[in-house]
Amino acid sequence: MVKKLTCFLVLILVTMTIVSAATEIHVKTLPLRRVGVLILDPNQVYSLIDSHYTNSDAEGKAIVTYEGLVNSINIRVRVSEEVSGESRVVLDETFGPFDVGQRINLNVFAGNMSDSVGEEVVEENVTSNETIANISENVIDNETISNETNKSGFLSGFSISMNKEKIFKIGYYILGIAVLGAAIFFGFKYGRKFIKKDIAYDYKPLASKEISKELELTEKKLQEAQVEINKLKNKEKIEVIEKKIEQDKLELDKLKSGKI
């Protein structure tokens, strides 16, 4: 019975310890930013125990609660913002070690990183709020100036690029006209040599004497051709007669020999 009671009391103490280990982490930083609170093991180089992500409100406040079994923790705060659709970390700081089960206050600003434990005084809150407001105004002004600078830079760059495009287009037009003119010039100058002439362009009219001479030469050539044709015809006839004579001689020889 005593052992059961002792175990019961130990369980109650453990449960109370776990419940009392809840740690509130209050972060003050830039307003309307993404805040990541990473719980680290202080006895390791980098050992992540837990992580919480939230957004800071208009006053730059973000609150997360850690409930764990460890007695001591380090806290790493990462503040990021959206730039051109991408998340970019603007503040990153590690604090600690801290004992769990209490309120931890963290100020995360550029050039002003501090921490404290316990409830904050109202006057400190007012001062902190004024500081946050001033920083917010500076951030907004810087963002406005940056946007205006980017816009002006974009417009100037766009105008410069447009001017370059116009210059390139004019240059291309001038170059094209020059190439076309050169092609036309060399085409007229040297193209005639490569054009095939018709034989009719070389024809020259003949005089009457030249015509008679041409006719006589042509008639003479025709007569010579006719003689050659006749010779060929006579040659064929002679060959036929010679073949006939040879056959007759053969028949005569056969009669004489009595073979027929």
**pLDDT, tens only, 75-100:** 999 999 988 888 899 999 999 899 99
| All residues at 6 or more sequence positions from 182 whose CB lies less than 8 Å from its CB, including other chains | none
Residue 28 sits at φ, ψ, to 5 deg, of -115, 125
Give the confidence band of 52 by pLDDT, cuts at 50, 70, 90: very high
**So what's the pLDDT on residue 127?**
45
**So what's the pLDDT on residue 128?**
47
Pairing of strands 34-40, 23-28: unpaired
**pLDDT, tens only, 17-26:** 444 468 999 9
Query: Which of 34-38, 46-50, 235-239 is predicted most confidently?
Result: 34-38
Mean of pLDDT values over 52-67: 94
**Is the dihedral angle over the CA atoms 34, 39, 40, 46 positive or is it negative?**
negative
